[in-house]
Chain A
Amino acid sequence: MLTTPEKIAFILLVLVCGALAFTGFRRIFQIVGRGKSAPRTDHLLARVTRALVDVGLQRPMFKARPWVSLFHAFIFFGFSFYLLVNINDILEAFVDGWSTIGGGPLASLFNLLSDVFSVFVLLGMILLLLRRFVQQPESLRFNPAVKLHPKVAQGWIKNDSLIVGVFILLHVGSRWLGTALHLAERGAGDPWLPTASVASRLFAGMSVGTLETGIHVCWWLAMGLIVLFLPYFPRSKHLHLMVAPVNLALDKRTPRGELEKVQDASHPGAATLTELPWPNILDSFACIMCNRCQDACPAHASGTSLSPAALEINKRYFINEHAAELAAGNGSASLLDFAITEEAVWSCTSCFACVRVCPVGNEPMTDIIALRRGMVFAGEMPDEVAEVLRSLDEKGNSFGDSARKRAKWTKPLDFKIPDARKEPVEYLWFVGDFASFDQQCQEVSRTVARILHQAGISFGILYEGERSAGNDVRRVGEEGLFEALAEHNLETLESCDFDKIFTTDPHTFNALKNDYGPYAGASQYDIVHYSSLLLELLRSGRITLAQPLDGRATYHDPCYLGRYNGGFDAPRGIIGACGVDLVEMPRNRENSFCCGAGGGRIWMKDQETLVERPSENRIREALELGEIDYFVVSCPKDLTMYRDAVKTSGNEGKIEVRDIVDLVADAMGLGEEEAVA
């Protein structure tokens, strides 16, 4: 029970701090509202339910860093319960005679939980502080070239962490200590407050006056502090406890592989903060600056200036610095000035790892796509990108080759692949640029053709009627060209008679399956990746493996088949069926590490900051598994990337990069000679 002056002081504190905090929160609302529109308010009930379940189970946390996530769960559950504790403590302070100590069963349960959770929070917080300040993990540092807000560079994230950590320790610690003092005052422990009872023995024999003073001090340290802390919330990363659930609820619900359309064709993408869609602005408030996205980022791992974490953090520090202007609709600083370097924008492989791993539902990758869209529209892009886009526009392929030569790879085959534009086929094979024009991939394409031919499958290709599906075009930010390519391809498909489409290239697969979705008529197509098709043919017995192989292989999940489209099992099934032992790399399935080719990167030169190519990093990972015969891939780009990486990392002869279809062909007994014929 507080004294009257204390009560008045607390109420005044609540009013002043509450008003300040309100201003802060209103500003956040205004700033987020300055963003461009985005369709995120459908299915509200489902959104809220899923977010509550995810937060309640701490599900997004456990995608990475299990120990840290466990400590976080301690704090999360404790803090959530502390909502009740705080209400109770206010009642205790203002209502005469209110106390849960020695109360009924409900009060006792409350006491037990508050006692246990207090210890959980304190333990979790101390461990996290030790991690950050004593262990100082590498993952909390940025590459030297990463652009950082001056305050971030000065170490303000650490300061913020320390303030928040000390606040939590003081808030929960004081409350726990206060309870112990209460018990000491009563002169007896309480079995429902086991840890506080133990602590209370320390104060045995103290005068009632001393104990009473201690109780008041602890109450103020617990409750006064939290009120005092309210205005700091909107500026602190601790805000995540409020914004993260909202952010998770307002997630993009369309398929991962479908980018959101450009809203305003005359002004596509974003150059400034408030030109971003509002969910991307909200992201920076949800960000807890844990750098998990950076850990997963292939561009950061290769030494470049791209850190998705730094992007969000810089946005947040910029907002803190310019909140009033931004809320008023001013502030037109380019994101390139404070959030991210131009090099970093072009370093992104669009692999989705950052979005997938983020525990608070942030999508830094889509900021980068928005930036690229804006830059491409303004004509600012690397020369190589311009060159490739020109080729794609004029010739429909990224190789600068004649559109008529798209099916030239079929010439060495001893049979003719039906022209799906001229005759009905069961499967329409959308081959894709790399599988059609790259010499190494052409061999794989021919193997696919021979296997299907041998199995008696009815399939055809579009010959020069096919153009690049535009997956990477869209991801370098050339939305107009993507649309043109999609329109052409859909028109061509419309005129053909087929049951299903299959693709060899996961990028093509993703474009047809997801990006083409919103375009009229596209969703009716049944699209499979050749890994699924081959597995189906194996299972149904249309392909028989006469000479099963042996040896050990590891498998690389292509981003656009695995993480984007959940195609994890079919390739593994094929490898198993061929008789090869599969040894997984530590980073597999959802957590697969990008080869570095996506998002148009395959067209661009290495960044100057590059230390190790993602593909070389990956080959190193595979070699660390011990004796591995095959590095198996199921993507034409992977084939070229990893064959190069084996050479450039000086590992020639140590591991052989093979497409899944090569394994099938070998196991079927289709010899090399036939491949040449």
Chain B
Amino acid sequence: MKLVVLMKRLPDLVEDLEVDDSGKALDAEFLKFTLNEFDDHALEEALLLKEATGGELTVVAVDGEDVDKMLYTALAKGADTALKISGTGEIGSTSHLARIFTQSLADRSYDLILTGVQAADDRDGQLAPTVAAMIGAPCIEVVTGIEHEAGKLIVRKEYSGGVLAEFDVEPPAVLGIQAARQTPRYAPVSKVRQVQESATLETVTLAADTGKSFDIIRMTPPETGAGAEMLGGVDELVKVMESKGVL
């Protein structure tokens, strides 16, 4: 089976996010990027599929700060090929990103495209269904388990309350991964460094139509403590609990 994982970096939410002077974007000075955690799950699920059924795994990402390391890490974990896309200009939206990915895959064959179920900056929609609609492939979001059986895929999708739905899906398909069957593995730096020396990243330069893009009017942090009355200590907390009759 030929597997593709689409990966994307996101501002690390551990950092304090600040709005820049324009009032419409994050202040780049305080940004640190990290792999979208759901994409990490998508990669893990792809690795598990590859280990179970054999096949080839390609990871794809758009160039940017630390993207090389991200791709080498994926190779160190067991991906076979890493494709880095450059020359895209700034990515303005999910649909723009989806166009880029779609175009980069145009002359490649694949059975399954996996990516994270969502990204914290999905202003205009999710990557998996957008890519799927563009290439005319079936898509399921919020996937928590994939099995490959006799040429078809058995996919588990999660609804709220822990209810799962099981589907047969005919490849090629696109799946948005909510969680892999196991915690994404850790790639030791020694291995990543070794891969960095022995493997090369495939690169492709392309520019895609940005598609529909819409102006951000403003970006603001939600008002802090708007609803919450701040308490000074555990004693105050106890008083609140008593007043609510729960203690």
Contacts and interface: CB of A to CB of B under 8 A. Distances in A.
Direct contact of A and B (CB under 8 A): yes
Interface of A: 262, 265-266, 268, 376-377, 379, 381, 383, 385-387, 389-390, 393-395, 400-404, 478-481, 483-484
A8 to B, nearest CB: 63
B233 to A, nearest CB: 14
B190 A389 contact: no
B64 to A, nearest CB: 15
B185 A480 contact: no
A403 B32 contact: yes
A481 B12 contact: no
A266 B12 CA distance: 31
B189 A478 contact: yes
A379 B185 CA distance: 7
A395 B66 CA distance: 13
Contacts of B185: 379, 386
B188 interface: yes
- Taking chain A's interface residues, is the majority helix, strand, or loop, or is none over half, making it mixed? helix
B230 to A, nearest CB: 18
B239 interface: no
Contact of B190 (A262, A386, A402, A403): A262
Interface stretch (B86-94, B114-122, B191-199, B215-223): B191-199
Given A266-B194, A480-B191, A480-B192, A402 B186 contact: no
Contacts of A484: 189, 193
B186 A480 contact: no
B204 interface: no
Nearest to A269: B190
Contacts of A404: 15-16, 30
Nearest to A479: B190
Nearest to A481: B189
Given A376-B188, A480-B189, 9 more contacts: A379-B186, A379-B187, A379-B188, A385-B186, A401-B14, A403-B32, A404-B15, A478-B190, A480-B188
Nearest to A403: B32
B169 to A, nearest CB: 29
B102 interface: no
Please tell me the size bucket of the interface on B.
10 to 19
B190 A377 contact: yes
A478 B188 contact: yes
Nearest to A268: B190
B210 interface: no
A400 B34 CA distance: 13
B190 A400 contact: no
Interface of B: 12, 14-16, 30, 32, 34, 77, 183, 185-194
A479 B193 CA distance: 11
Closest 3 CB pairs of A and B: A480-B190, A480-B189, A386-B186
A404 B29 CA distance: 12
Contacts of B16: 402, 404
30 contacts: A262-B190, A265-B190, A265-B193, A265-B194, A268-B190, A377-B190, A379-B185, A379-B187, A379-B188, A386-B186, A387-B186, A390-B186, A400-B14, A402-B12, A402-B14, A402-B15, A402-B16, A403-B32, A404-B15, A404-B16, A478-B190, A480-B188, A480-B189, A480-B192, A481-B188, A481-B189, A481-B190, A483-B189, A484-B189, A484-B193
Tell me which of B14, B32, B187 has the highest count of chain A C-beta atoms within 10 A of its own C-beta.
B14
A262 to B, nearest CB: 7
A480 B183 contact: no
Nearest to A390: B186
B186 A389 contact: yes
B14 A377 contact: no
Contacts of A478: 188-190
A390 B16 CA distance: 20
Contact of B183 (A266, A377, A383, A395): A383
A271 to B, nearest CB: 15
A549 to B, nearest CB: 29
Nearest to B40: A390
B196 to A, nearest CB: 10
A393 to B, nearest CB: 6
Contacts of A268: 190
A419 to B, nearest CB: 17
A342 to B, nearest CB: 16
A393 B189 CA distance: 8
A394 to B, nearest CB: 6
B172 to A, nearest CB: 29
Contacts of B194: 265-266
Contacts of B77: 379
A480 B12 CA distance: 23
Contacts of A377: 188, 190-191
Nearest to A473: B189
B203 to A, nearest CB: 24
A439 to B, nearest CB: 15
Nearest to A388: B186
B112 to A, nearest CB: 23
A379 B15 CA distance: 28
A388 to B, nearest CB: 9
A255 B190 CA distance: 24
B183 A386 contact: yes
Nearest to B183: A383
Contact of A381 (B12, B186, B190, B191): B186
